[in-house]
Amino acid sequence: MEIEKAINHQFKDSSQKLIAELLYSANWLENLIAKVLSPLDISFQQLNVLRIIHGQKEGRANVQIIKDRMIDDRSNVSRLLNKLCEKGFTQKDRCNMDQRVVYIELSPAGIEVMKRGRALIEKIQFSIEENKIEQLNQLLNDLRK
């Protein structure tokens, strides 16, 4: 659906339309991902945290590493970590050398839900051709320069 029809608005110029297109599309994609992940009872931000921790060499990360690697840098990492700990997906381990440093590791349940969540995300397909997806990726990279 064209953005003008979806939100019943005419834009002054193409830059203003682009802003609306990107925000509308981001919201659409966020809702799609939330729906896909709903059987696992995790959010995309929680899945992102699990993926970041899993991707570390030692299989654990401190809060700063997680904050630095988040897709959404506005995420409240402490709150996300507390939720994941409550669900039994992560566990905290204080550094012996510096008690202020806390390492977060995945539990076996956390590893499992991370793998299942990643598989669900990878199944998302778009109804445009691969070359157009690559072109869109390049255009979005150019836009952020």
Residue 72 confidence class, pLDDT cut points 50, 70, 90:
confident
- In a domain, residue 145? The reply is no
In this structure, the answer to whether residues 115 and 129 fall within a common structural domain is: yes
Instruction: State which amino acid sits at residue 38.
Output: S
In this structure, the answer to whether residues 35 and 55 fall within a common structural domain is: no
In this structure, the answer to whether residues 51 and 95 fall within a common structural domain is: yes
Mean pLDDT, range 10-37, rounded to an integer: 94
- In a domain, residue 72? The reply is yes
Cβ burial of 144 (10 Å; 0-12, 13-18, 19+) is exposed
Residue 13 confidence class, pLDDT cut points 50, 70, 90:
very high
In this structure, the answer to whether residues 85 and 22 fall within a common structural domain is: no
Q: Answer whether residue 73 shows pLDDT above 80.
A: no
* pLDDT at position 94: 75
Range of the domain at 8: 1-40
- In a domain, residue 143? The reply is no
* pLDDT at position 99: 66
Q: Answer whether residue 96 shows pLDDT above 90.
A: no
Q: How far apart are CA 117 and CA 44, in angstroms?
A: 9
In this structure, the answer to whether residues 88 and 20 fall within a common structural domain is: no
* pLDDT at position 102: 83
In this structure, the answer to whether residues 114 and 54 fall within a common structural domain is: yes
* pLDDT at position 95: 67
Residue 71 confidence class, pLDDT cut points 50, 70, 90:
confident
In this structure, the answer to whether residues 36 and 56 fall within a common structural domain is: no
In this structure, the answer to whether residues 35 and 72 fall within a common structural domain is: no
Mean pLDDT, range 33-49, rounded to an integer: 96
In this structure, the answer to whether residues 12 and 56 fall within a common structural domain is: no
